[in-house]
């Protein structure tokens, strides 16, 4: 789909890059010539991911443990990353989420999700942006949000609040920083199964099956499909795309939105025939 050197010469930081979607995006970026910096809370997970990625792609990966809820840790991580040379890209991928009846949420539960998704993405984006703007350097930020950033969703309320905030952040900064060489976009994925998300969000096999059944394409997303989109948006060739959110969900959220979408499952062929105008 792309030239092998699409991302050559770019140094890209992926938060939560040791597992799940972040790991898949990192693998694709390396195969397209990028150098990677990954962070996450668990050093051992990062070390294993870095080794696997370097073995599989021959690319360069450095890593450091960082809890992005802590602004001081984010600043230290960025100082460390910049000692090797400036970054060219940031992927705000790290997230925290679980399904729960909202009336049961404790303050700490709400803060855990908002801290990772909203505050963590803001600390990272503004920390990188400050460094890029001071150096007059071109750069690209990609944030992984969800389609319920604009629809909202029952049972994942802190996540919906936080992802909506990240979308507002990238649209705001796209205008504030775009003219100074820093552009920001988002991807809104539908269901892309990962161990971390699925154990917290899809605790029963019937729920996993329902994700596929209610999707117009009757399947979940494949990681390589998301990684290709993330590569396209990160590349310099997409330089005029700024402040945009691209949905990749097989049509899932529209399926839930269109007023007549349910009709197809309740009409037989005979019902449709009976509706045809008579001559």
- Contacts (CB under 6 A) with ligand HXC, residues 61-100: 95-98, 100
- CA geometry: angle 262, 218, 267, nearest 5 deg: 30
Residue number with CB closer to ligand HXC (55 or 218): 218
Backbone angles phi, psi at 50, to 5 degrees: -60, -40
CB of 87 to ligand HXC, least distance (A): 23
Residue number with CB closer to ligand HXC (95 or 187): 95
Q: Catalytic residue among 29, 123, 148, 155, which?
A: 148
Residues 114 and 179: their CA atoms lie apart, in Å, by: 30
148 is catalytic: yes
Residue number with CB closer to ligand HXC (50 or 94): 94
Choice from 108, 218, 278, 279 touching ligand HXC (CB under 6 A): 108
Choice from 44, 72, 85, 106 touching ligand HXC (CB under 6 A): 106
- CA geometry: angle 195, 58, 44, nearest 5 deg: 40
- CB-CB neighbours of 257 under 10 Å: 10
Number of residues that bind ligand HXC (CB under 6 A): 17
Contacts of 221 (CB under 8 A, 6+ apart): 189, 190, 191, 192, 248, 249, 250
Tokens of 242: 């700024």
Backbone angles phi, psi at 94, to 5 degrees: -55, 135
Binding of residue 14 to ligand HXC (CB under 6 A): no
Asked if residues 15 and 124 have their Cβ atoms less than 8 Å apart, the reply is yes
- Contacts (CB under 6 A) with ligand HXC, residues 142-171: 146, 159
CB of 182 to ligand HXC, least distance (A): 25
Choice from 60, 64, 71, 109 touching ligand HXC (CB under 6 A): 109
Choice from 113, 141, 164, 170 touching ligand HXC (CB under 6 A): 113
DSSP3 helix / strand / coil % (the chain, rounded to 5): 55, 15, 35
Give the interface with ligand HXC as residue ranges (CB under 6 A). Answer: 95-98, 100, 106, 108-109, 112-113, 146, 159, 191, 196-197, 200-201
Active site residues: 148
């Amino acid at each position: 789909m792309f030239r092998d050197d699409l991302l050559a010469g770019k140094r890209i930081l992926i938060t939560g890059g040791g597992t799940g979607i972040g790991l898949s995006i990192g693998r694709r970026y390396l195969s397209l010539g990028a150098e990677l910096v990954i962070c996450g809370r668990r050093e051992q997970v990062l070390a294993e991911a870095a080794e696997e990625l370097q073995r599989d792609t021959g690319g360069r990966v450095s890593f450091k443990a960082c809890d992005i809820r802590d602004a001081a840790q984010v600043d230290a991580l960025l100082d460390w990353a910049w000692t090797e040379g400036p970054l060219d890209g940031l992927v705000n991928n790290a997230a925290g989420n679980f399904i729960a009846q909202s009336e049961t949420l404790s303050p700490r539960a709400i803060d855990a999700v908002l801290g990772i998704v909203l505050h963590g993405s803001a600390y990272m984006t503004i920390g990188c942006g400050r460094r890029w703007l001071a150096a007059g350097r071109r750069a690209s930020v990609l944030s992984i949000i969800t389609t319920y950033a604009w629809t909202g969703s029952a049972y994942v309320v802190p996540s919906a609040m936080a992802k909506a905030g990240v979308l507002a952040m990238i649209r705001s900064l796209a205008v504030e920083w775009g003219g100074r060489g820093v552009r920001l976009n988002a991807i809104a994925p539908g269901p892309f199964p990962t161990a971390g998300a699925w154990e917290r969000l899809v605790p029963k096999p019937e729920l996993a099956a329902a994700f596929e059944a209610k999707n117009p394409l009757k399947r979940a997303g494949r990681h390589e499909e998301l990684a290709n989109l993330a590569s396209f948006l990160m590349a310099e060739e997409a330089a005029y795309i700024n402040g945009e959110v691209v949905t990749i969900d097989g049509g899932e959220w529209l399926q839930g939105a269109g007023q007549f979408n349910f009709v197809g499952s309740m009409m037989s062929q005979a019902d449709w025939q009976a509706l045809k105008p008579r001559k």
